[in-house]
Structure formats: structure tokens, C-alpha cells
Structure 1
Amino acid sequence: MTVIVQPTGVEPADVLAVAREDAHVELSPAAVEAMAASRAIVDGIEASGRPVYGVSTGFGALASTSIEPERRAELQHALIRSHAAGIGAPMPREVVRAMMLLRVRSLAMGRSGVRPVLAQGLVDLLNHGITPWVPEHGSLGASGDLAPLAHCAIVLLGEGWVLGKDGARMASSEALHAAGLRPLELAAKEGLALINGTDGMLGMLLLAIADAAHLFTMADVTAALATEAMLGSERPFLPELHAIRPHPGQAASAANIHRLLQDSVIMDSHRDDLAHAVQDAYSIRCAPQVAGAARDTLDFVRVTAARELVSVVDNPVVLPDGRVESTGNFHGAPLGFAADFLAIAAAEVGAIAERRVDRLLDVTRSRELPPFLSPDAGVNSGLMIAQYTAAGIVAENRRLAGPASVDSLPTSGMQEDHVSMGWSATKKLRTVLDNLTSLLAVELLAAVRGLQLRAPMTPSPAGRAAVAAVEPFGGRPGPDVFLAPVLEQARAVIAGPELRATIEATVDRLH
């Protein structure tokens, strides 16, 4: 696959392809032309001698300091070196690749005043698989992701570090030499244009959107499996009950669960049983209301990310009429808010899943399933401690759901006196989603155990698919086994596409 960067931007699928599938990247002729025209304006400003922020002045609190023409290239190099000041473990490769592509996207829009060779330099890094070493700490989300982007930019200068194949860091000069690439010399404005953007935040948010969309559907799957295993009712998921409260996410989630519960001998066994509970617990009956609200939050986040993908995020910007204007478009508040909202939603999807796990394991509430889903409880503890693990993860997600975007701290001598913390918001969102994967894995295993224990009654097609996916590594109910590797493989089932594809082949496409 080849992603061609146009002056109008890129699509979310392009970012995922480059970040996760190593898609090849090219600059379109129109993008090269837009950058060349923008650069001509900056060259004209330099020749005129008039003061312009970032071109002929210092940065941040040093914006009023004039820089002599002969030192302006030095200024750009010094900017990159000083701003590559992150610390901590390296960010994942997919995040750095997404960030670099998004910076190429921004430069290619022709409002940053850079030479096309600068964007091509980032493209070359992507196409040669050279991933800068970007420490996890350093960005405040305004003026954009300065430190993370500087750690990408410094590699273009033949300085700094890159991720080696073994995960260790190596000198970027070695990586460039091995790829046949040469370091770049920056011109006026170019160092600033390389780092003044929301690309790290946006990259992580786009990756999180894709992950959340999949996990929210899998949450409907595990909720349906747990409902079936606990002899719950399908009636609360009837479409007419959700049409009278027309939240689109709720309707989609309810439709998924209702469809997944059809053609089940287990469900048929108690549908007309007058002794059956009139109402299921909230964690079952209200699953669409919680998961649906998360889906609606995800839709809002998608809209925010889509707007950012067509935005010029730089400072200053070069307008087609020759003006160079300072902006605040680098401020990450829209992305920080969106990430915080989605983290709250994802945390609750996991929290309600853990409550269903607890019910499945509790002999007083699981409708005749054995304690902790062990046929020989006492000597064996079954899934008791798996629920402990889930409870601990829920508690961590509650802490992570606290918003980062309200935690501004002033910097740069009070010039940058309000920042977004969008980098922190998007980074912790990814942790919440990783935790959600684990929580759904525990629910998947518990629900499958419950369905197995309902034999000889057979579950729904979705239930049969889940049992078939889990049994090869999870086995059948019996004596206790080393549970950690079972949970790890259950995580892989939740994260991967195979179980969902198998279910959809039987029950039609899920929302």
C-alpha cells in the first residue's frame, strides 16, 4: 500500500496503514508545489529584513530577541537540539510513525514556509523504517508536542537516537548512513515548523479511535456471552425499547446483543419460566446504555480528529497573500478534551464488564453455576483471582479516567501560561484501552466457562464460536491450571479480528 500525501491532508486509514502496516509514503506533486510556493514567501521576508516570529526572532519568551541573518540557520538547529529534551522510556514505534506522517501532512498543506526537501526527509525516514527514539515525557500539548517532535526532527540532522531492531537505541547517524541518507541543513523557519504541532496527540488519538471502535463491539460480544451464561433475558435488548430513547450508540449496542442471543438452546430453556427473575441486574440489563454512551462519545472524538486532520497546525503560518501570522492552533485542547472524554467512557465499559464477571463467579447470583465457575470448588479456586485482577484494573482505569486536560502548568517565563496536557491525555487513553482489552478478556473467559457449564444445553452461534476460540488454550472446566497464559491468550482473542469475523459470518455484521 502507498499513502500519497496531498495538500488537503490524509485519511485516518492512511495513518493506521503507515503506523501499523509500514505503508509506503509519497508526496504528491501538488503538495510539493504548495510547499515551494510557501517557501518563496519566507525567502522574500528574509530578503526584506522585517522581523517575523520564528524567522528572524527567537522563540517563546525570547520572541522579542532579533536574530542576525547569518545566524538564522544556527537558530533553527539550536531550537531542535534544545527542545529534544524528553526523558523516559521510548514511545511505541506505531506512535512515532503516526506522528511523523502527520507532521508531513501538516507541512504538505503549504502554510509552514518550508522547503519540500524537509517533508521528504521525514518521508525517507518512514520509508526506510527509521524510527526516532521519542521519550515518553516532554510534551505539555502546547505549543504542540514540542519535545516529541524535536526528537523526530533531530534525526534529520544526523543527531539524536533511533530505535534499533532489538528495541535498544542507536545513533541516528549510523541509521542514516546504513540507509544511504544524508543529514539535512535547516533554513530559516524550518526548525520551528518541524516541532510546532499536535501530531503526537493526534497520532495517538487516531490509533485509540481504531482500538476503541473494535473493543466497544467486542464489549457487546462479551456482554451477550455473559448474559447467556447467567440465564439472563434478551427482552431488555428489543429494538422498540431503545427507539423510545433514541441515542444511536445505545440502539447499536442493544441490536448487537439481541442478535447475538438468538438461536440459543440456553436462552430457550428459561424464556417462558415464570420463576425466572423479572428483571436482570443493571450490569446485564443496562449494558447497551453504558456501551452505547461510550459509542456516542467515540463518534464525537472521531469528528474532532477528522477536523484536526484537515487543520493547519503551526505557528506562525504563511498565508497565500504573503502574510505571516501568529496563531494558537498548536494548542491541544480539542484533542485533550476528546481523549479525556473517551478515557472516561472506556473505563466505564470495563467497569460494567467486571461487574458481570463478579456475578458469574458468585454462586448466590449466577443462577446455579458452581462457585467461581469451578466444578470442584474448595480444593480449586476457579476464576476467583482472575476477578481480583479485573477489579484491580478497574481501579486503575478509574484513576486514569481523571482528566489530564484540566491540569495546566505555566512554562516559558509565563509566555506559555496555559497548556493542554493533550499528550498526557492521549497517552493515558491508550493505557485505559489496553486495560479494557484485559477486562474483556477476563469476561470472555468467565462467560465461556459459564456456557460450558450449561451443557448439554447448547449456546447461541456466537457462544459456540467463543467456546471454540477459547477451548484450545483455556480447556474445559476442571482442576485449576496456571491461569496467566490463558488470560494472555484471551487478550489476544479480544484484540484480534478472528472471533468477531467468525461470529459475523454467522449472525451478520455487528455495529
Structure 2
Amino acid sequence: MTMINNVTLGKAATTTQDIAAIAGGAEVRLDPQALADMRSVHQEINKALAGDRVIYGLTTGVGDLVTQRLSSPQIAAVQLNMLKSHACGTGPDLAPRDVRAMMAIMIKSLLQGYSGVNPALPATMAMMLNKSVIPWSPAKGSVGYLIATAHIGLAVFGYGKAWYQGELLPGGEALRRAGIEVRTPGPREGHALVSGTYEITALGCLAVEDFSALLPVADAAGAISLEALKGNTRGYDARLHALRPHPGQQETARILRCLLTDSEILDQYRDFRVQDALSLRCIPQIHGAVRDVLAFCRQVLTTEINSVTDNPIFMMENGELQVLPGGNGHGAPIALCLDALAIAIAELSTASQARSDRLTNGHLSGLPAFLITPGAAHSGMMIPPYAAAALAGENRALAAPASVHTVSTCAGQEDHLSMGVTAARKALDSIENVIDIVAIELLCATQAIEFHRPLRPARGTRAVLALIRLEVKFRQQDDEIYPDMLAIRQLIAQGRLLQVLQPIIAADAANGDRA
């Protein structure tokens, strides 16, 4: 995997990988031209204020208070008041990674130059990221925007709370210790921080990147399961998938062919079974459909990262400042795609759990019952598939869409909400579950493949087995099993399994009806 050490934010395209890198600690750099463009629009905002123009959220209240005109002293105070009143999150703390991702999305949006704020605002936020001053925020309470970003905004201006060097401090104290000037919010600098889809987009980027790293490992788990069960690989033939050319399906079949090359087990049992169970035979169709949903989510989120979702927006046309109020802050596009992602993750979960159950079922597998030497009164791998079944069941529950549960708020002014943050959190929770589900399948599949010795397994299986055996030994008797499950989970979460798989799945698959 390529490590990204620094990311430049500006008007040039930013990717989901860039946001995930910043979330993971990459340095943030700001494009000087974007800062210069921001400055010119900000100057026009100041002129508009002097001219007593009516501008939503700047010279008026927000939401149902849109009809209230603000005096000059109120304009100065309302930006900070907005952050104080909106910072009403609940529940557990957001992880620092989540907050960093949100700040990156906020900075990116401001740098587009349509929010009217002083360029010192994104510069301050970038310094906070680079000096690891991480605002504190609760994780819950957002209907799609407003909440976490308000908590972040408080810390940016020296209020609220922030983490610095492992200590949770008052926001101003954290900034001072890091050597960052505490600023007073200028025009729009409170409103601009809460009015976009920053929370959903940030969490969505993390979900897409986390799941992207898992998917090839899930392919490998399925491939090892098929090999251990003496499966039929004709269902992965490129000619077959050319007749139903969904991109994800074709790519999954190609990866499986790469992983299953050079297998003495498959050669030995080539004609053992005409057709396998669906969880084995249809890995290209199941994982492929998941891949297509993931690609759709990445496309939507990439568009969103590089969009302006503030309200209103400010632009110069023919030397005149134009103010466009609108609804780009509605999170429907991302909420819908993240709901779809949670459904896709549930599909992958149930397929993996079915394979784990099949591997341990001696009546179906032809292997020793529960993958332990018979006659020794040991339970072997009997119970890990139970845990996978519980997690897969939870993921099916998490697949229920959040975006359909809109309600009316703000005295009817905001009467259709995206619930996108809930959709994003469901996707992230589902990913945590499916990592364990796939880890359990790998635990069972690598145990099962050993019963085929001295036949040599496939290329991909050998690579995965060698890495797993560094942490988890072949089980010959009952012992505490949770440490083995956790060890494989860590190999997935740390990206080590993906690293050994990447050179294999990058190779061209062999033509013909078999890998």
C-alpha cells in the first residue's frame, strides 16, 4: 500500500484516499492560489456588509430565523453564538481520525473560494491538523450536518475542547500550547463551518477506504475456502463472465483466478464436484456486486469532496458579488450511497459466514468435523462460526436504510433531512463487524487447507497461509481461540494481508476455464 505523507488542498481534485491519509496523520498543505482567491471574495463580503445588503446567514438569522435582520454588532456576535448553540452532540467521543477527516473536508470546501471567509480560517485549521490539535466532539446527534462541525468550530476559535499531546484541554489552551493564535470569528466564519455536508462526506471517505482495503482479503478468504472444500473453479472462467459483464463481477473472477493458480489440490479434485454451493460458486457475482456499489460510493464521495456544499455561496460575476442561497448542503446523494454500502457489506458478511459454517460442517465439507483431528474430544472450530453468524446478523440489521427516516425540524423550515451521518456510522460499524467475519473465515479456511497436505495449495493460499502461520499455529487441540481470531483481525486491519495479496492479484489471470 502506498503511504501518503502530505496532501495539498486547494481547487485541484482531492480523492477519498487523500482524506483518509489526512485522517491518518498526513501533513496538510494549502494551495497559495486558492488562498489568494479566497481573499478577494472575502474583501467583497466586507464591502457588501458596509452596503447593508440582505444576505442569508450573514445579515439575517438562520433556519426559521431567516426573516430576522441583524445589526452590525449582532453580525459580529452571531457567528460565535451559532457555534455555541449548534454544538449539542451526544454519545461517545468521535475518534480523532473521524475529526481529522471532517476538518480536511471543511478546509477543502473553504478553499474553493465560495464561502466568503477569511483565508486565515482554513490556515488555522491546517495548523491544528499539522500540530495535532484535535477538537473534541460527541459522535451522535447529527441529522446530516450542524453538530460535530459546530464542536470543531468552537475549538478552532478557542472555545469547546481539544486534544493536544494526549490531554483533553479547553480549546483556547490547546491552541496556545501548540503556538497557534486564537482568532475571533469574522463574517460567516461560524455559519460556513456548519452548513455543508462535511460530517457525512468525511465519514463516508473513511468507510470507502476501509472497505476497499478489506475486499481483496475477503476474495482471498473465499478462494481458500473453495480450495479447501475441493471446489469447482470453472465458475470463474473469464468466458462465462464476459456474458454478464458487470465490472465488479469480472474483476472479482479475475482476482480469484490469480489467487487460485498453481494448486495441486484443485488439480487433484478437478472433477470432484460438478457444481458448488452458491456462497462458493457465486463469489464473483456476490463480491462483484459489492465492488460495483463500492465504486459508485467512491464516485459520489469524490464528487462531494470537490463540491461546494455551503449555503449561501458567494461568487464574482462581471465584477459584482453574487449571492446564491440554495440547498447544496442537503446530504441525500451521500446518504443514499452509504445506505447502499451498508447493504453491500451485509451481503459480503452473509456469504463469508456461510462459507465458515460449511468449512466446519463435516457432513458437507468432507473434512474432519469442526476441523480438528477426530476422536480427541475437542471442539476445534465449532464456535467461531457462531460469532460470525451473530455479526452477520447485526450487519443485516445495520443494512436497514437511515435515509428514509427523515423528519421535520427547525419549525418546519428544514422539513426533509438526509440522516446521512447515521448512514455513514452504520457503514463504518458494519465494516468493523465484517473484518471479524472475514477473519473467522480465514481462521477456518487456513485450518482446513492443512488437511490436504502434502498437496500444495494455490499461490494466493500459500501467501496468506505463510503470513497467518507467523501469528496463528495449526490447531491440534482446544486452546483459547479468541487470541487467534484477534491476531488475524489485526493482520487485516494493519493491511499486512493486503500487502502480500497485492502482487498476486495485480498479475494477469490465466485464460481458460481454470486458474
- Match 1:129 to one of 132, 136, 142: 132
Q: Which runs of 4+ in 1 moved over 6 A?
A: none
- Match 1:33 to one of 22, 26, 36: 36
Q: Which residue of 2 aligns with 1:14?
A: 18
> Is the contact between residue 176 and residue 182 of structure 2 (CA under 8 Å) also seen in structure 1?
no
CA–CA distance in structure 2, aligned partners of residues 426 and 258 of structure 1 = 33
- Residue 282 (1) aligns with residue 278 (2): yes
CA–CA distance in structure 2, aligned partners of residues 287 and 387 of structure 1 = 19
1:119 and 1:146, CA in 2 relative to 1: closer, same or farther beyond 3 A? same
* 1:495 CA displacement: 2.7
Q: Which residue of 1 aligns with 2:6?
A: 2
CA–CA distance in structure 2, aligned partners of residues 26 and 476 of structure 1 = 48
Q: Which residue of 2 aligns with 1:327?
A: 326
> Is the contact between residue 16 and residue 298 of structure 2 (CA under 8 Å) also seen in structure 1?
no
1:381-422 Cα shifts (integer Å, max 9, x gaps): 111110110000000000000001111121111111010001
Q: Which residue of 2 aligns with 1:48?
A: 51
CA–CA distance in structure 2, aligned partners of residues 189 and 363 of structure 1 = 66
* 1:10 CA displacement: 2.5
* 1:150 CA displacement: 0.6
Q: Which residue of 1 aligns with 2:257?
A: 258
1:132 and 1:246, CA in 2 relative to 1: closer, same or farther beyond 3 A? same
- TM-score normalized by structure 1? 0.95
* 1:208 CA displacement: 1.3
Structure 2 residue identity aligned to 1:227: L
CA–CA distance in structure 2, aligned partners of residues 392 and 288 of structure 1 = 24
Structure 2 residue identity aligned to 1:176: L
Q: Which residue of 1 aligns with 2:208?
A: 209
> Is the contact between residue 408 and residue 415 of structure 2 (CA under 8 Å) also seen in structure 1?
yes
Structure 2 residue identity aligned to 1:374: I
Q: Which residue of 1 aligns with 2:62?
A: 59
CA–CA distance in structure 2, aligned partners of residues 234 and 507 of structure 1 = 16
**Any stretches of 5+ residues in structure 2 without a counterpart?**
510-515
* 1:163 CA displacement: 2.9
> Is the contact between residue 228 and residue 451 of structure 1 (CA under 8 Å) also seen in structure 2?
yes
> Is the contact between residue 220 and residue 461 of structure 2 (CA under 8 Å) also seen in structure 1?
no
Structure 1 residue identity aligned to 2:402: A
Give runs of aligned pairs for residues 156-195 of structure 1, distance below 5 A: 156-166=156-166, 169-195=168-194
Structure 2 residue identity aligned to 1:466: V
* 1:506 CA displacement: 5.0
* 1:4 CA displacement: 2.0
Structure 1 residue identity aligned to 2:282: C
* 1:13 CA displacement: 2.8
- Residue 350 (1) aligns with residue 349 (2): yes
1:296-327 Cα shifts (integer Å, max 9, x gaps): 11111111112112211101110212111211
* 1:194 CA displacement: 1.4
CA–CA distance in structure 1, aligned partners of residues 29 and 501 of structure 2 = 38
Give runs of aligned pairs for residues 370-385 of structure 1, distance below 5 A: 370-376=368-374, 379-385=377-383
Give runs of aligned pairs for residues 65-214 of structure 1, distance below 5 A: 65-141=68-144, 145-166=145-166, 169-214=168-213
Q: Which residue of 2 aligns with 1:386?
A: 384
CA–CA distance in structure 1, aligned partners of residues 183 and 503 of structure 2 = 52
Q: Which residue of 2 aligns with 1:310?
A: 306
**Any stretches of 5+ residues in structure 1 without a counterpart?**
none
CA–CA distance in structure 1, aligned partners of residues 6 and 269 of structure 2 = 54
CA–CA distance in structure 1, aligned partners of residues 451 and 209 of structure 2 = 34
* 1:504 CA displacement: 4.1
1:116 and 1:259, CA in 2 relative to 1: closer, same or farther beyond 3 A? same
CA–CA distance in structure 2, aligned partners of residues 494 and 3 of structure 1 = 25
Give runs of aligned pairs for residues 384-423 of structure 1, distance below 5 A: 384-423=382-421
CA–CA distance in structure 2, aligned partners of residues 212 and 11 of structure 1 = 15
* 1:7 CA displacement: 2.8
Between 378-387 and 222-231, the greater mean CA deviation after superposition: 378-387
| Matched residue count | 502
CA–CA distance in structure 1, aligned partners of residues 230 and 182 of structure 2 = 65
CA–CA distance in structure 1, aligned partners of residues 201 and 408 of structure 2 = 22
SS of the residue 2:139 aligns to: strand
> Is the contact between residue 19 and residue 101 of structure 2 (CA under 8 Å) also seen in structure 1?
yes
Q: Which residue of 1 aligns with 2:476?
A: 478
Between 455-464 and 78-87, the greater mean CA deviation after superposition: 455-464
The share of aligned pairs that are identical, in percent, is 36
> Is the contact between residue 9 and residue 108 of structure 1 (CA under 8 Å) also seen in structure 2?
no
CA–CA distance in structure 1, aligned partners of residues 243 and 440 of structure 2 = 33
> Is the contact between residue 213 and residue 498 of structure 2 (CA under 8 Å) also seen in structure 1?
no
* 1:347 CA displacement: 1.1
Structure 2 residue identity aligned to 1:461: R
CA–CA distance in structure 2, aligned partners of residues 46 and 331 of structure 1 = 27
1:422 and 1:196, CA in 2 relative to 1: closer, same or farther beyond 3 A? same
> Is the contact between residue 80 and residue 191 of structure 1 (CA under 8 Å) also seen in structure 2?
yes
CA–CA distance in structure 1, aligned partners of residues 332 and 131 of structure 2 = 33
- Match 2:289 to one of 290, 293, 297: 293
SS of the residue 2:209 aligns to: helix
Structure 2 residue identity aligned to 1:483: I
Between 291-300 and 490-499, the greater mean CA deviation after superposition: 490-499
Between 276-285 and 440-449, the greater mean CA deviation after superposition: 276-285
CA–CA distance in structure 2, aligned partners of residues 497 and 100 of structure 1 = 25
* 1:509 CA displacement: 4.1
CA–CA distance in structure 1, aligned partners of residues 372 and 469 of structure 2 = 15
Structure 2 residue identity aligned to 1:163: W
SS of the residue 2:190 aligns to: helix
1:507 and 1:298, CA in 2 relative to 1: closer, same or farther beyond 3 A? closer
1:185-219 Cα shifts (integer Å, max 9, x gaps): 11222210111111111111111111222212111
- Residue 462 (1) aligns with residue 460 (2): yes
- Residue 244 (1) aligns with residue 248 (2): no
Q: Which residue of 1 aligns with 2:512?
A: none
Structure 1 residue identity aligned to 2:298: R
What RMSD in Å do the two structures reach over aligned CA positions? 1.6
SS of the residue 2:316 aligns to: coil
Structure 1 residue identity aligned to 2:106: R
Q: Which residue of 1 aligns with 2:513?
A: none
Structure 1 residue identity aligned to 2:101: A
